[in-house]
Amino acid sequence: MRSTRRSAMHALSLAAIAVCALAATAQAQDATAPAAAGAPDLHRGKQLSYTCLGCHGIDGYKNAYPDYSVPELEGQHPDYLAAALRGYREGDRSHITMHSQASTLSDQDISDIAAYFAGTPLPSSGKPPEGTVPQAGALCVSCHGQNGVAIAPIYPSLAGQHEDYLVRAIQEYQNGGRKNPIMKQMAANLKDEDIRAIAHYFSLQRPGLLTEPRPYTRFGSQ
């Protein structure tokens, strides 16, 4: 019995390693910025992000249709944010507003904006995770971490992210709205209850991602 259990755990570990290796290759292809982009300029990134903060700078703000929370970005890996912006720019991610916003951005613009929004990437707490990893998410933690803090900058951290946004993101990998082939494969056979369980688990983890505060204006106090 113990031998069988050890063999099963070993097989799962090997599968997780293989998945992360494949995902790293796919993500790295997306995340590799052309050499023309220099070191990120946080001040310039803040200036360029003024329009972005109209959605990403309001805590609890929701996408109009379909209805789901705009993702929190502070604490995310800048490499991942840059890859995501390039995905929206190139059409690998389907969202008309994000495509419109990203379509005119240069690689340097994207690098600067990503660095500004990321701030200081989330550290791992080193504490046991909140709750139990759902069975459907057993491989997810191999890249995104048991505490929701990604193991490498090319993967997104998920800790504290809005639950409904995570559900939407997984669904987009399923239906082709996001074209990462590894994530599409990972999401393909997930049932609705699996997706909700995975999203709920990662949303509980702390420390978590935060909403970047908007500068003070006469229209708001943030």
Three-state SS across 52-84? CHHHHCCCCCEECCCCEECCCCECCCHHHHHHH
Query: To which residue do tokens 């890859």 refer?
Result: 83
The number of distinct structural domains making up the chain is 1
The conformational region for residue 91 under phi > 0 = left, psi -120 to 50 = alpha, else beta, is left
The encoded tokens of residue 55 equal 């959605």
Please report, for the domain that includes residue 173, its CATH number. Answer: 1.10.760.10
Distance CA 16, CA 2 (A): 21
Task: Give the structural domain span for 188.
Answer: 2-204
37 — pLDDT class (breaks 50, 70, 90): confident
Higher pLDDT, 132 or 35: 132
Instruction: Cite the DSSP H helix spans in 62-144.
Output: 78-90, 96-102, 107-118, 140-144
> In the prediction, which pLDDT does 214 show?
78
> In the prediction, which pLDDT does 20 show?
61
